Amino acid sequence: MWKKLGIIALITTLISLFIPTTSTQAQPVTIFTPYTGLTASPGETITYNVDLINNDNSVKSVSFDFNHLPKNWTTSITANGNTIKQLSVKPGGEEQITVEVNIPMEVKKNDYRFELVAKGTDGSTSSLPLLVSVTEEGSSKSNLTTDEPSREGHADSTFNFTATLKNNTAERQNYALSSKAPEGWAVQFKVDGENVTSIALEPNESKSFDIDVTPAENVKQETYKIPIMANAGASSSELELEIHITGHYSMKLTTPDGNLSSSVTAGKERKVELVVENDGTAELFDVKLSAETPPNWQVSFEKEQIASIKPGDKASVIATIHAPDDAIAGDYVTVFKAETPAVSSDAVFRVSVKTSMVWGLFGLAIIIAVIGGLYYIFKKYGRR
């Protein structure tokens, strides 16, 4: 009998040595959240609501830590609005904590895995695996960009650009806008048509604005660089605009000797030589000539349009002024005009009208006839 019992005990001991047993005892403390994998953007703060469950029949006090937290990521743990370092849970009880994870702006697009660890004062631990998927590449810098940084035109133009400013930092920024334009140039910044000198942006916010650039007077024909800056102190960005000036449009309408007056007899014509001078730096095209005259006067040109005039060159045109037959002696004004799509010039020409010799003789004849008539009357009836 005892021999059999000894054999059974020996067999039981051997089984316990070579066949492992599974423990069904639960961890004293468990941490849990249903949303363990979240997506986020650079600079964002994500929040986990985590339950702390005491599976034991005694009070458990735990502190918290993180394993494998990415570099420069920061965290905070609160309960009931208080930042905590340690938390106690009554037997069979449950407490909730709020875990905040702050993602830096300068982070790569990737999946990041780390663990929240609860450490009991009795040496027990419980871990909660977490996943954050960063959806875009991040940076700690601001970003000032434009799709079309280059413009071309003549010196009398105003050049318009559209730029976009993005705040890639984790804080609200107030950007001062400025430029380093050449002396005499004007640069204006506009948002929704209103002039501004600064733009305020929240984290990750971007805004588009207009940049109007007006060249200085008499600017030379060449390419100019216009640096544009957005400065918020700790964060700033810059872009460079390029403007190619094709030339300055200017012309002058006058006569060869500068004399802008003449005379004409009523009913006759007077030819006037006009000179169109290109005193700008860009070639003039399609110069059209016209005139504004007194009523019933007429002006004709030997040619009403000049195809082109190069910078520094001149072109002459003969204009014919015709005074009406009934023009009264005096001074009259005719305004000559030279116009192109880009520039125009006027010349005020004064014309003195002289009475025709025929009318003078006719008037003299009338006077003689009147005197003769009076003489006849006095002679015939004067003695009665």
Q: 42 pLDDT exceeds 90?
A: no
What digits encode the pLDDT tens for the residues 118-163?
A: 998 888 899 999 999 998 776 667 889 999 999 998 888 899 999 9
User: Are 221 and 276 in the same domain?
Assistant: no
Tell me what pLDDT residue 376 has: 67
**Would you say 142 and 175 are in contact if contact means Cβ atoms under 8 Å apart?**
yes
User: Are 148 and 216 in the same domain?
Assistant: yes
Domain-ending residue, one of 114, 134, 154: 134
Q: Following DSSP, what letter does each residue of 47-114 receive, concatenated? A: EEEEEEEE-SSS-EEEEEEEESPPTT-EEEEEETTEE-SEEEE-TT-EEEEEEEEEPPSS--SEEEEE
Higher-confidence residue of 168 and 22: namely 168
Tell me what pLDDT residue 106 has: 78
Residue 186's domain comprises: 143-245
What SS3 state is found at 274?
A: strand
Tell me what pLDDT residue 21 has: 43
**Would you say 169 and 105 are in contact if contact means Cβ atoms under 8 Å apart?**
yes
What SS3 state is found at 63?
A: strand
Domain-ending residue, one of 215, 245, 275: 245
What digits encode the pLDDT tens for the residues 75-128?
A: 999 998 899 989 999 998 999 999 999 988 778 889 999 999 999 888 889 999
Residues 6+ apart with CB under 8 A from 97: 49, 50, 52, 64, 77, 78, 79, 84, 87
Q: Name the pairing type of β-strands 284-292 and 60-67.
A: unpaired
Tell me what pLDDT residue 12 has: 54
Query: Residue 380 — pLDDT band, cuts 50, 70, 90?
Result: low
What digits encode the pLDDT tens for the residues 233-264?
A: 878 899 999 999 988 888 999 999 999 999 99
Bridge partners for 208 per DSSP: 164
**Range in 64-78, 314-328, 349-363 the model is least confident about:** 349-363
Which residue's entry shows tokens 């009403």?
304
- CA angle at residue 193 from 188 to 197, to 5 degrees? 40
Which tokens belong to 267? 């009913």
**Would you say 106 and 41 are in contact if contact means Cβ atoms under 8 Å apart?**
no
Domain-ending residue, one of 245, 262, 295: 245
Confirm whether 10 is domain-assigned: no
**Range in 78-82, 185-189, 215-219 the model is least confident about:** 215-219
Tell me what pLDDT residue 203 has: 84
Give the neighbor-by-neighbor strand order of the sheet with 186-191: 143-146, 159-166, 206-214, 186-191, 194-196
Which tokens belong to 242? 């390029």
User: 0.85 cut: is pTM over it?
Assistant: no
Q: 32 pLDDT exceeds 90?
A: yes
Sign of the Cα torsion 308, 314, 315, 321 reads: positive
What is the domain-level CATH number for residue 295?
Answer: 2.60.40.10
User: Are 129 and 149 in the same domain?
Assistant: no
Query: Residue 383 — pLDDT band, cuts 50, 70, 90?
Result: low
Number of domains in the chain: 3
Q: 57 pLDDT exceeds 60?
A: yes
Query: Residue 377 — pLDDT band, cuts 50, 70, 90?
Result: confident
Give the neighbor-by-neighbor strand order of the sheet with 298-301: 251-254, 269-278, 314-322, 298-301
Tell me what pLDDT residue 282 has: 84
